[in-house]
Amino acid sequence: MKIGFIGLGNMGASLARLVLAHKEKTEEILLANRSQEKTEKIIEEVGGCLASNQEVFAQADIIFLGVKPAQMADLLQEQVEILNKRESVLFVSMAAGLSLDQLQDLTAPQHRFVRIMPNTPITVGAGVISFVLSSKTKEADEQLLLHLLAPAGKLVKLEEKQMDAATALAGCGPAFVYQFIEGLSDAGVKNGLPRELALELACQTVLGAAKMIEDKELHPAVLTDQVASPAGATIAGLASLEADAFKGKVIKAVDVACKRTRELAK
């Protein structure tokens, strides 16, 4: 089994490191990137084989495409002769917004496509990878994907119409959460806590709150009500968030991110 990666930006490199860290002896990982220096650094750290784009397209059984949406057409067209001669290859696209139909139109009809959208916490095994399969994929393709990417965290199979929303929520969401954690930490410092302690408390609070929702399977509103006692400090803070339209601003941020995701495919 030869597994290829083309494009080793932040996300492509993260997935390549993940697969390399858990590879089996029967798997060979081919790495191609514009910057050979970056590829060599990954190989030095976790292994893999340096390859050109042409070598990956000619040899790999499954190819992860970590290029920007605007670069995808040129990348696949450059290798059209190689791809026309090959039997079916499984492509895994990380390009936000590009639909399966758009991807399929860029290459020979025998090839299969999967769209994925990972988020950055995959690097610590606590991420989300949303994925959608084309009609040409086989059950074995899905099992291979789950095998390779399971160490990333949670894999969620979607319908394609859900992909842009999932990208905006889970793909962009970590940045929104980081802003919230930074705000909590700043508030702690403002009220007398040392920075390191304030950040530690903010991180653990967010982590614990998320685990409460996951483990207890309760709606966030129910858990919020359990914290907010009558005329207490929590309800006073919640009233302030409500006055500033906190949830509305979060919703708007995801809406804007979703809209931009759709624009990237044009």
The pLDDT tens digits of the residues spanning 96-137 come to 889 999 999 999 899 999 999 999 999 999 999 999 999 999
**What pLDDT is recorded for position 35?**
85
6 is in an annotated binding site: yes
10 is in an annotated binding site: yes
CA distances from 74 to 4, 71, 117 (A): 18, 6, 21
* Residue 249 near residue 82 (C-beta atoms within 8 A): no
212 is in an annotated binding site: no
Q: In what order do the strands lie in the sheet with 28-32?
A: 49-50, 28-32, 2-6, 62-65, 90-93, 112-118, 127-133, 153-157
Domain ranges of the chain: 2-158, 166-265
- Structure tokens of 196? 């390191």
pLDDT in tens, 156-165: 999 999 999 9
53 is in an annotated binding site: yes
Torsion angle of the four alpha carbons 250, 253, 259, 261, in this order, in degrees rounded to the nearest 10: -110
9 is in an annotated binding site: yes
pLDDT over threshold 80, residue 46 = yes
Q: Do domains 2-158 and 166-265 have the same CATH topology?
A: no
Confidence of residue 171 (pLDDT cuts 50, 70, 90): very high
163 is in an annotated binding site: no
Confidence of residue 263 (pLDDT cuts 50, 70, 90): confident
pLDDT over threshold 80, residue 265 = no
**Predicted structure pTM score:** 0.89
- Structure tokens of 32? 């191609």
Architecture of domain 166-265 in this structure = Orthogonal Bundle (1.10)
171 is in an annotated binding site: no
**What is the fold, at CATH topology level, of the domain defined by 2-158?**
Rossmann fold (3.40.50)
